[in-house]
Amino acid sequence: MKSYRKELRIETPHRRDYINITRQVEECLNESGIRDGLVLVNSMHITSSVFINDDEGGLHQDFEVWLEKLAPEKPHSQYRHNGFEDNADAHMKRQLMGREVVVAITNGKLDFGPWEQIFYGEYDGKREKRVLVKIIGE
Ligand code: ZN
């Protein structure tokens, strides 16, 4: 069995952002030489997510509105976590959108359903973050 590991570096200009990282994961897969197996992609931070969905701008705005309804950023004082920090909402948004995805690899390709793409969801950005890509197989 072969094993491959890489950390992707992601910098976002805004507090919240949704970034399609499918191409970077495909580059990792090509680099690994693995043709059949599994890829795990996870955020290495507790205020951001990796998830799979459609690459459609309207949907991403809908995510933003939905997340702000469930875990509004402001007022910061509504959260006990916000003493020295102001990112309690970001921790909650990450819980809702998830930490990681696992995708099957078949014939050297990501074995997606129709329209599936991998996204990095940032909820407390404006600094560099890391995403772990781990691939196992043969
Ligand atoms: Zn925090």
In this predicted model, what pLDDT tens digit does every residue of 59-102 receive, in sequence order?
A: 999 999 999 999 999 999 999 999 999 999 999 999 999 999 99
In this predicted model, what pLDDT tens digit does every residue of 26-52 receive, in sequence order?
A: 999 999 999 999 999 999 999 999 999
Cα-to-centroid distance, 62 and ligand 1 (Å): 24
Q: What is the pLDDT of residue 32?
A: 98
In this predicted model, what pLDDT tens digit does every residue of 97-118 receive, in sequence order?
A: 999 999 999 999 999 999 999 9
Cα-to-centroid distance, 97 and ligand 1 (Å): 16
Cα-to-centroid distance, 72 and ligand 1 (Å): 15
What's the whole-model pTM score?
0.96
Distance from chain centroid for Cα 58: 18
- CA–CA separation, 51 and 42 (whole Å): 9
Domains and CATH numbers, the chain: 2-137 (2.60.120.460)
- CA–CA separation, 115 and 19 (whole Å): 15
β 37-43/128-137 pair status: antiparallel
Q: What is the pLDDT of residue 126?
A: 95
Backbone angles phi, psi at 22, to 5 degrees: -60, -45
Cα-to-centroid distance, 90 and ligand 1 (Å): 8
In this predicted model, what pLDDT tens digit does every residue of 124-138 receive, in sequence order?
A: 999 999 999 999 999
Cα-to-centroid distance, 49 and ligand 1 (Å): 14
Q: What is the pLDDT of residue 2?
A: 97
The dihedral through the CA atoms of 34, 36, 37, 41 has a sign that is positive
Q: What is the pLDDT of residue 80?
A: 97
Q: What is the pLDDT of residue 61?
A: 96
Could you give the count of Cα atoms lying within 13 Å of 125 in the half-sphere of its Cβ? 18
Cα-to-centroid distance, 14 and ligand 1 (Å): 17
